């Protein structure tokens, strides 16, 4: 199971997460988020990472030039677009920097599955190659990190694993429910922020480790 710990915005939390050895961390550059990380702090966090942990830059409705500037400044290879970015925006971004791996987050609300299908079909028509799709719960108050859950059991019925990019499940995951979520939704990966925190951006060592243990316990590669 591919595991990403998102919302790393201080060095203490970064050290905790690095010790737990997830597959990836998320650096949130959305200034309205309580987990926003300044570029200078992000640079210090990146220096702590071993090659085995992938840093992912998270952006919400940023200008393309702002994204590319941050990517170039920090040397990021993977980004997560968590706002209302259109397929045309992704196409322009990928055309300008083809080596950049793109993750697109989708907040499932009313007509969520149809909107997702339409979006991914347009991406295919434009020749956009997505590293992964991240599914989160819709909220009118925020672009993520709300702790809201999506209906896990609906995912196998609607998500075309064979035709669409690898699926990353997010939204309200904790060490107590991630195994159940994986069993019901069959994702390629999981993403957690608030579920391993004592407060926004403050990761708890024991909680982080418990989450990784619970998620990996449901990894098909480790099951009999």
pLDDT digits (tens, 9 = 90+) for 142-192: 454 555 788 899 999 999 999 999 999 999 999 999 999 999 999 999 999
Say whether pLDDT at 137 is over 60. Answer: yes
Query: Is 123 a catalytic site residue?
Result: no
- CA quadruple 13, 178, 152, 121: dihedral positive or negative? positive
β pairing state of 189-192 and 101-108: unpaired
In CATH, what number is assigned to the domain containing residue 20? 3.20.20.70
Task: Read off the pLDDT band of 57 (50, 70, 90).
Answer: very high
In angstroms, how far apart are the furthest CA atoms of the chain? 48
Say whether pLDDT at 224 is over 50. Answer: no
For residue 143, the enclosing domain spans 2-222
Task: Write down the pLDDT at residue 222.
Answer: 42
Which entry of 9, 133, 136, 191 is annotated as an active-site residue? 136
Which entry of 6, 9, 123, 133 is annotated as an active-site residue? 6
Percent of the chain with pLDDT over 70: 92
Task: Write down the pLDDT at residue 32.
Answer: 93
Structurally, the chain folds into a number of domains equal to 1
Average pLDDT score over the chain: 92
Phi and psi, residue 71, nearest 5°? -60, -45
| pTM, entire model | 0.92
- Give Cβ neighbours of residue 203 (< 8 Å, ≥ 6 apart): 5, 8, 13, 16, 17, 196, 197
Query: Is 65 a catalytic site residue?
Result: no
Say whether pLDDT at 141 is over 60. Answer: no
Task: Write down the pLDDT at residue 223.
Answer: 43
């Amino acid at each position: 199971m591919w595991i990403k710990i998102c919302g790393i915005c201080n060095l203490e939390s970064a050290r905790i997460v690095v010790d737990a050895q997830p597959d990836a961390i998320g650096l949130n550059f959305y200034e309205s988020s309580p987990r926003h990380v300044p570029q200078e702090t992000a640079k210090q966090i990146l220096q702590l990472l071993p090659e085995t942990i992938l840093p992912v830059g998270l952006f919400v409705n940023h200008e393309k030039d702002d994204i590319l500037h941050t990517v170039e400044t920090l040397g990021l290879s993977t980004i997560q677009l968590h706002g209302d970015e259109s397929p045309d925006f992704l196409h322009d971004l990928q055309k300008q920097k083809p080596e950049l791996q793109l993750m697109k987050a989708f907040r499932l609300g009313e007509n969520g599955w149809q909107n997702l299908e339409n979006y991914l079909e347009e991406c295919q028509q434009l020749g956009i190659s997505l590293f992964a799709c991240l599914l989160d719960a819709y909220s009118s108050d925020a672009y993520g990190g709300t702790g809201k859950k999506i209906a896990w059991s609906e995912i196998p019925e609607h998500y075309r694993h064979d035709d669409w990019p690898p699926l990353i499940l997010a939204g309200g995951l904790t060490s107590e429910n991630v195994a159940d979520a994986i069993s019901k939704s069959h994702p390629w990966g999981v993403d957690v922020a608030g579920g391993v925190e004592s407060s926004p951006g403050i990761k708890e060592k024991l909680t982080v480790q418990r989450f990784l243990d619970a998620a990996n316990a449901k990894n098909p590669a480790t099951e009999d």
